[in-house]
Amino acid sequence: MSVKAYIETNKERFLNELLDLLRIPSVSADPKFKSDVHQAAAFVKESLEKAGVDKAEICSTAGYPIVYGEKIIDPTAPTVLIYGHYDVQPADPYELWDSPPFEPVIKKTDSHPEGAIYARGSADDKGQFYMHVKAFESMLAKNQLACNIKFMIEGEEEVGSENLDLFVKANKEKLQADVVLISDTSMISMDHPSVTVGLRGLAYMQVEVTGPNRDLHSGTYGGAVANPINVLCKLIASLHDEDNKITIPGFYDKVEEYDLAYRTQLNKAPFEEEDYKKKLDIAETSGEKGYSTIERVGIRPTLDVNGIWGGYTAEGAKTVLPSKAYAKVSMRLVPNQDHREIAKLFENHLKAIAPASVKVKVVPHHGGQAAVVPTDSIGYYAAEAAIEEAFGKKAIPTREGGSIPITSLFQQELGLDPILMGFGLDTDAIHSPNEHYGVKNYFMGIETIALFFKHFSSMYGKKQGN
Amino acid sequence: MSVKAYIETNKERFLNELLDLLRIPSVSADPKFKSDVHQAAAFVKESLEKAGVDKAEICSTAGYPIVYGEKIIDPTAPTVLIYGHYDVQPADPYELWDSPPFEPVIKKTDSHPEGAIYARGSADDKGQFYMHVKAFESMLAKNQLACNIKFMIEGEEEVGSENLDLFVKANKEKLQADVVLISDTSMISMDHPSVTVGLRGLAYMQVEVTGPNRDLHSGTYGGAVANPINVLCKLIASLHDEDNKITIPGFYDKVEEYDLAYRTQLNKAPFEEEDYKKKLDIAETSGEKGYSTIERVGIRPTLDVNGIWGGYTAEGAKTVLPSKAYAKVSMRLVPNQDHREIAKLFENHLKAIAPASVKVKVVPHHGGQAAVVPTDSIGYYAAEAAIEEAFGKKAIPTREGGSIPITSLFQQELGLDPILMGFGLDTDAIHSPNEHYGVKNYFMGIETIALFFKHFSSMYGKKQGN
């Protein structure tokens, strides 16, 4: 029986195991889910053991633990380090979910005619990292594994992976590998499989504007005392100019301008603007002047307010001039922009432009560097070969708008360029209500990852002259 | 025993009755307090009966009831119509209260060395309208009442008094009077008793900005799809120009520009800018260029955001590009600005300036017209005489920034100019956490209102040639 047949035979179990994992609400951002996050870590450890690793361990950190497991088939064989995360984004607003976020159900949709798993974390990233566990199990079971495998599955990706940094630095020896493989990105479509070769960085900030020392009656004081919400709106509005360029001094200093040839190549990726607008129900896309939608999310930095609040937000009307207003603002960064430097520029700028009538406090939440992955490595070639064998089509290299801050960590600390072979779709609604992940994507992913292990071992062996 | 002695003798009871009323959380804006609001109405009816009205009734409306009670001592005697409201503002944010908002406590403060009652509604307006009940009881008990008294105490003032309009129009006969007396405003200070002769109007709007049809991942879509929070901030920011003038076309068309003599007179009211800033802990006041703080809240219209929300507002970070963002925006209006017209101008303007990348919905919440009270009426003279007798000082006429939308209703439907004789202080924190009302203000108010009844009857009699 081939590896493919093994996967086919075990389909139902592979799916049910994932559903069990999805039932654990491992929301790392919200302390009330603390025990659930730990429970998810224990689940992952057990899954690795069952799949056949030599040893698995739950490694404590100052935050949530990192689950590590390895199978060394031969110390001289090449090693694939797999990274993923078992924590998930908060599921609120719950009322916008068609089914409860932690009670997975399988439903058929236009994008997933063979069914999709609806649950928080189904695509990001439980459904995706779990494919690696199952691909590993399948290869091992069929005696086909020709490389060593190391798993490093963390629980703080959605809150900035702060403790992963220390862990990687302290465990360089243990994590030694020849490639890092990550499935936490998306493909263009099942008809256009792709490999992500660029990711944006992130600088996530919280802004607090304080006006008067207490909430005031807007009739008695309105017009004479600065309203922190009005001021916050002014500050935020001023961060983009008429061309939707970001106005923070120095923000673009290190942003690379690509030549026409590169931009033309980038814009050749399959993309239907009309279809994109229709799916989002928007009349127009909107972004930095002079760039296409693909460029705006791929090679240009951005600034978005992720949350804003202040004053009276419940039913009805309250005539209050509030004491405070808040916003969460994140900037997506491109290669060479340092997230710490950008965070500082943001803070300095906001404080410089704030009127004397209010006090402004800026707190950086977390950040990560942008990444560009070379396309001339064995890892990349192996990904291409695996995709071609599984999908019957050549992989398209794409640059994605999201951020996986730890990619630059692997480059710096382990000297490894990560291979970003994700199987999600943009329509999977990750970070949104009704997140889902195609059942077909799940099984195609398992198959493709198994093929990656095969091709990587084989190509690596050839390079070494074995 | 004089009326003053009667008040003195019954002090403790007068205070405890008010505390009982304050224990009822009659928040009209929030449906979860519905039964409490009705309970407050029942309390008011019973209080009027105990104080000695001929009859009291709870008059149903489409919303919360209006409590009506009257004492006709002589059909030929002048009649004072008393207006007040038993509903209160929402108390949230609860965590900013030093003591629970519906468990009144008496504490001493700098502004109230003889103690102040801390509770939601203590100053606005339970503590103030209840003074009328007690002044009426005292005059009646001491056989000094020489005018008829009608009470109309409503339960929807904090949500726009929508049903009062119908009630007044349907009960013109019943409500016939010679003056309307209202205590729902503040004085400059106990050393500077004042009568409010101008109030601003109000147009309260809710704005909803919709971007994509669902929450999106800000990495995947950020920079290419308009973020409704960023757009809302731009819209709000654009509503004021550099001089803090409101940019809505036509907004100032009907605003009266006062001559220098009037403005000089207005600015003579006791006011210490440094003290004002210190009490609010702000470095600078802020408002429309070319006007003083007194003018900004008294004779100029304003626009304040009373609440804003959208995206992720809980702990931690979520990289979401939300589908929707909301704001509650209110404009304070001056005489001649029609609140319905201004609401329409606001809506039209927002829709005109919104980019095609989003949808904007504007819903008017409620509104009311501004009012100016003449100072040459018997009612005003009676208020002056009552204040002078009680405080030993001449009353200062002031224009206040708040709104009591129903004043224009009384002018139009009953032909009565209201006398706005309030006893609160600006520091009472109405509509804020830790609202309070001075114990001394409460008793001085009762005494002054009783004197108003006396002087009004006497002056009215003289005018009639009795």
B400 carries an active-site annotation: no
Per-residue pLDDT tens over the stretch A142-194: 999 999 999 999 999 998 888 999 999 999 999 999 999 999 999 989 999 99
Q: B181: Cβ–Cβ under 8 A, 6 or more apart, which residues? A: B80, B81, B82, B83, B132, B379, B418, B419, B421, B449, B452
Look at residue A402 and tell me if it is in a domain: yes
Contact A357 B282 (CB under 8 A): yes
Rg (Cα) of chain A, in Å, rounded?
23
Q: Do A433 and B215 touch (CB under 8 A)?
A: yes
pLDDT on residue A465: 56
Q: Are residues B153 and B10 in the same domain?
A: yes
Say which residue, B448 or A319, is predicted with more confidence.
Answer: B448
- The answer to whether the Cβ–Cβ distance between B282 and A211 falls below 8 Å is yes
What confidence tier does A407 reach under pLDDT thresholds 50, 70, 90?
confident
Residue A266: inside a domain, yes or no?
no
Number of domains in chain A: 2
Domain boundary among B325, B351, B367: B367
Q: Residue A93: is its pLDDT beyond 90?
A: no
The whole-number pLDDT of residue B291 equals 97
Question: Is residue A466 over pLDDT 70?
Answer: no
Regions in chain B scoring below 70 on pLDDT: 1, 463-466
For residues A40 and A48, give the distance between their C-alpha atoms in angstroms, rounded to a whole number: 12
Same domain flag for A426 and A375: yes
Active-site residues of A, by number, are: 87, 157
Band the pLDDT of A369: cuts 50, 70, 90.
confident
CA distance B3 to chain A (A): 34
**In which band, very low, low, confident or very high, does the pLDDT at A317 lie, cut at 50, 70 and 90?**
confident
**Which pLDDT band, with edges at 50, 70 and 90, does A463 fall under?**
low
Q: Could you read off the pLDDT of A21-38 as tens digits, one per residue?
A: 999 999 999 999 999 999
Set of chain A residues whose Cβ sits within 8 Å of the Cβ of B90 = 312, 314, 316, 318
Domain boundary among the residues A322, A352, A367 is at: A367
Chain B partners of A400 at a C-beta cutoff of 8 Å? 219-220
B229 and B353 share one domain: yes
In terms of residue numbers, what domain contains B228? Answer: 201-255+301-367
Q: Phi and psi at residue A240, in whole multiples of 5°?
A: -125, 140
Q: Which residues does chain B have within 8 Å of residue A232's beta carbon, measured at their own beta carbons?
A: 233, 308
Query: For A220-358, where are the E strands, in sequence order?
Result: 302-311, 320-321, 324-333
Q: Is residue A263 part of a domain?
A: no
Nearest CB to A431 within list B315, B319, B433: B319
Angle at B185 between CA B182 and CA B188, to 5 degrees: 130
* A388 CB-near residues (< 8 Å, 6+ apart): A394, A395
Q: Do B176 and B215 fall into the same domain?
A: no
Same-domain check for residues A169 and A49: yes
User: Distance, in angstroms, between A273 CA and closest chain B CA?
Assistant: 11
- Specify the pTM: 0.80
- Per-chain mean pLDDT for chain A: 94
Q: Could you tell me if B238 and B145 lie in one domain?
A: no
Mean pLDDT of A307-321: 90
Give the separation between CA A58 and CA A48, rounded to whole angstroms: 11
- Is the domain of A49 the same as that of A173? yes
Task: Give yes or no: residues A33 and A157 share one domain.
Answer: yes
Residue percentage of chain A with pLDDT more than 90: 83
C-alpha distance from A381 to closest chain B C-alpha (Å): 25
All residues of chain A having their beta carbon less than 8 Å from the beta carbon of residue B432 are: 214-217, 320
Same-domain status, B397 and B359? no
From chain B, the residues in CB contact with A273 under 8 A are none
Same domain, B321 and B260: no
**Between A426 and A420, whose confidence is greater?**
A420
The pLDDT value given to residue B93: 86
pLDDT digits (tens, 9 = 90+) for B264-277: 988 988 899 999 99
A297/B221 CB distance under 8 A:
yes
What is the predicted pLDDT for the residue at A316?
A: 80
Of all residues in chain B, the one with the smallest CA distance to A29 is B316
Q: What is the CATH number of the domain that holds A427?
A: 3.40.630.10
Q: Are the CB atoms for B210 and B323 separated by under 8 Å?
A: yes
pLDDT higher than 70, residue A334 = yes
Residue A286 lies in a domain: no
Chain B nearest-CA distance from A107, in A, is 18
φ/ψ of B119, rounded to 5, equals: -175, 150
Active site residue B157: yes
Q: What is the pLDDT of residue A345?
A: 98
Interchain CB distance below 8 Å, B220 and A429: no
Query: For residues A328 and A365, is the Cβ–Cβ distance under 8 A?
Result: yes
Among B295, B318, B343, give the residue marking a domain's end: B295
CATH code for the domain in which residue B235 is found: 3.30.70.360
Which chain A residues have a beta carbon less than 8 Å from that of B94?
Answer: none
- pLDDT tens for A100-122 read 999 999 999 887 888 999 999 99
- Using alpha carbons, list the distances in angstroms from residue A296 to A299, A300, B155, B222: 6, 5, 53, 8
pLDDT confidence of residue B464: 65
pLDDT for B462 equals 74
Q: Is B419 exposed, middle or buried (0-12, 13-18, 19+ CB in 10 A)?
A: buried
pLDDT at A436 over 80: yes
pLDDT over 70 (residue A337): yes
A306 is a domain residue: yes
Residue in chain B closest to A226 (alpha carbons) equals B286
Does A331 map to a domain? yes
Q: Are residues B361 and B389 in the same domain?
A: no
Q: Is the pLDDT of residue A341 over 60?
A: yes
* B70, B125, B154, B157: the active-site residue: B157
In a shared domain, residues B70 and B185: yes
Q: Are B183 and B125 in contact (CB under 8 A)?
A: yes
What value of ipTM does the predicted structure carry?
0.80
Using the beta-carbon criterion (under 8 Å), do B328 and A317 form an inter-chain contact?
Answer: yes
**pLDDT-based confidence at residue A464 (cuts at 50, 70, 90):** low
> What pLDDT is recorded for position A245?
98
pLDDT value for A278 = 95
